Amino acid sequence: MGARIGIIGASHVGAHVADVLLARGIAEEVRLCDLDEKLSRAQANDLVDAASYYQRSARVVDCGTRYEELASCGVIVNAAGHVAASATSRDGELKVTPAEVRTFAHRIAEAGFEGVWVSAANPCDVVAYALWRELDCDPHRIVGSGTALDSARLHHALADATGYDQHVINSWMLGEHGFSEFACWSHVSVGCLALDEVEAQAHLTLDRAAIEQDACKGGYITMAGKLCTEYSISNAVGDIVDAIVRDAKIVTPVSTLVEDVYGVSGIFSSLPCTVGAAGVEQVFVPEFSASEIEGWHRSCAHIKENIGQLDWL
């Protein structure tokens, strides 16, 4: 049995998240909201047209701007954004997208929503922080998609560099979902082998800086061709929602409230987290190398700087 999932923002990411949730049988009902009610209606209709091809029957409900109708959902995905603003700057959405939470967050909370928020809107860490501040709720109920997607991009880059399948590569980007993020090289493994062992025994010499840049900026290859990313982020969000619905307790990098991690507190940033029915159920702190500690501080400083530019937070 699936669950009732709400999605705010029915454009590129939101619509693809809905498709993932239905195609994978995660949701038994999807409720769509968007300020563009014509778009919300169109996406809902298109998804219902596809119902015969999904694994199991499910309902799709067009809620338009009736955000209160999401209050009965177990999970709400925030995909409301202004992707065109990020075409020339990674922080391009900073002055427009975080403010969107003020159009719906209180309305949904006052209607009785007690579930988990999964926020994929950018800048991800700032939007997740804004949701938390607006709602004044348990921060563990707010899960930013964070560097889950960037970690998949690191898998992609390492697979290209090594020739190994992405599924045997365990590698994470941490910190900001943005250009200040960093690869946690000290914890990369291929199968059960540390990366240094793989390089030595497979006679590989990896350009780690170049691979890290590919992971960090790979999304802009996609952006350059179609002005958005869809498939990768929707599947990342799908995994997070699935973990909440099934109480799967996966360990994955998501953006969560940071509390005294290498001296940083009070912001949302990505760390390895257990994700289950309650949202973020545990935050793990890796033993970083000296350079990774510097990367963590640099990345978190950038998030703080971005938050500081919004005088309403």
Residues tagged in the binding site annotation: 9-14, 34
Please give the Cα distance from 277 to 255 (Å, whole number): 16
Give the residue ranges of the annotated binding site for NAD(+).
Answer: 9-14, 34
Please give the Cα distance from 115 to 71 (Å, whole number): 8
The DSSP result for 131-153, as a single string, is HHHHHT--GGGEEE-TTHHHHHH
Name the residue type at position 276.
G
Looking at 16, 140, 155, 177, which residue is catalytic?
177
- As a three-state string, the secondary structure of 45-92 is HHHHHCHHHCCCCCEEEEEECCHHHHCCCCEEEECCCCHHHHCCCCCC
Please give the Cα distance from 30 to 27 (Å, whole number): 6
Please give the Cα distance from 132 to 233 (Å, whole number): 22
Clarify whether 177 is annotated catalytic.
yes
The residues annotated with a catalytic role in the active site are 177
